[in-house]
Amino acid sequence: MSVVAAIGVIGGAYVLSNGFHPASKSTTDVLLPKDSYYSLPGNQYNAIDFITKATSRITGTFTNTLGVIVYILDPVQLMALNHNGTVGSYQWSSGLIANLTVDNLTVVVAPGQWALTFFNPNVLNTTIVGFYTPLILAPT
């Protein structure tokens, strides 16, 4: 095989393996697909872990049946929630989103490791959270 052919094969493999990234390309990640839903028993949570390398924005549209609070937590804060069952501190909070409210979530997060956390503050009842659009993480 000639040197030119070998360089062409190696270069082609590099491109096919996503080795070249145009400077203008912005990457987005789907944290949760459209039409997803889950139930949260009383005083329970669901956390979606993610890592950002640059300041990013989370967007999506969802509703819930009995009320929910959305938090952005760092790993230490999530561990505290897991051990204590309550949120002592957080990076960001939506406050209580009332039942049957359609919320257009837009949250900016700094670079780092995070958990987008949906918490059911109702101690006795289960709430269902449903997503009309995907939850998207994209650079700002």
Check: CB of residue 50 under 8 Å from CB of residue 127: no
Looking at domain 26-139, its CATH architecture is Sandwich (2.60)
50 - beta bridge partners?
A: 114
Check: CB of residue 137 under 8 Å from CB of residue 95: no
Regarding pTM above 0.85, the answer is no
Q: For residue 3, how many other CB atoms are within 10 A of its CB?
A: 7
Per-residue pLDDT of the chain (140 residues; tens, 9 = 90+): 444 444 444 444 434 444 444 444 458 899 999 999 999 999 999 999 999 999 999 999 999 999 999 999 999 999 999 999 889 899 999 999 998 888 999 999 999 999 999 999 999 999 999 999 999 999 99
